[in-house]
């Protein structure tokens, strides 16, 4: 029976989320005099930004134009992009899954252009049999649709698949798709409380896939 490992992208493969937090923290401080709490920013990790923009409007009492904030944020992010790297242990996990004969997929709430650009830049693109992004579904995480679509294309049953996530929204998406879910938090998600039906590890070197597949706790 075929098995699969499906990775989230932002924050899991490359920790773009910590960079985005610092970008928005600086931007809101300078332009709106808001000291952005990490707890507030974390609510939007792994999903859409509507709640984040509502927070800015409620805090400032002003009507904002998301496209203007996005433009400024993207400019600041580009200045920091060269500092990004693959999270430690990710390549070893990709190689482990490939050696075991598992199908490897990706399910991300971000755009295809964003995801594919980074995967090709870091020479990871060829590991993935299937890549599902926001263009492929009506609703992104925490809705399970991205994982459901990836499983359908891989032709793998949910019980024979593991998701690797870093966010609460992503974890709920994987669990509700019927999958086992490994969580490896990054700097901005490490303080979050994850669903009980997850396997949490602080690094990618603390687990192996065969161990998780054999573990019956959440089967």
In 3-state terms, what secondary structure has residue 124? coil
- Provide the CA 138 distance to its chain's centre, in angstroms: 18
166 is catalytic: no
Q: Is 83 within 8 Å of 22 (Cβ atoms)?
A: no
Catalytic residue, chosen from 8, 26, 35, 49, is: 8
136 is catalytic: no
Measured distance CA(158)–CA(167) in Å, rounded: 19
Catalytic residue, chosen from 10, 35, 49, 166, is: 10
Strands 199-200 and 161-165: unpaired
Phi then psi dihedrals of residue 198, to 5 deg: -135, 160
Using only C-alpha atoms, the chain has a radius of gyration, in whole angstroms, of 17
Token pair recorded at residue 73 = 């944020």
Q: Which residue numbers are catalytic?
A: 8, 10
């Amino acid at each position: 029976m075929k098995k699969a490992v499906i990775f989230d992208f932002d924050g899991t493969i490359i920790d773009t989320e910590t960079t985005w937090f610092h970008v928005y923290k600086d931007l809101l401080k300078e332009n709106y005099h808001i000291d952005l709490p990490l707890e507030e920013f974390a609510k939007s990790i792994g999903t859409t930004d509507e709640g984040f923009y509502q927070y800015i409007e409620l805090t400032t009492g002003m009507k904002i134009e998301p496209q203007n904030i996005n433009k400024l944020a993207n400019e600041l992010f580009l200045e920091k992009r060269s500092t990004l790297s693959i999270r430690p242990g990710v390549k070893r996990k990709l190689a482990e899954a490939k050696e075991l004969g598992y199908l490897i997929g990706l399910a991300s709430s971000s755009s295809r252009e964003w995801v594919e650009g980074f995967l090709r830049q870091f020479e990871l693109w060829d590991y993935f049999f299937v890549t599902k992004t926001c263009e492929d579904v009506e609703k992104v995480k925490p809705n399970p649709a991205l994982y459901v679509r990836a499983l359908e294309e891989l032709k793998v049953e949910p019980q024979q698949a593991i998701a690797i996530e870093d966010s609460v929204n992503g974890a709920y998406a994987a669990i509700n798709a019927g999958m086992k879910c490994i969580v490896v938090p990054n700097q901005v998600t490490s303080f979050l409380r994850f669903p009980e039906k997850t396997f949490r590890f602080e690094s990618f070197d603390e687990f192996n896939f065969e161990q998780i597949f054999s573990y019956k706790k959440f089967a």
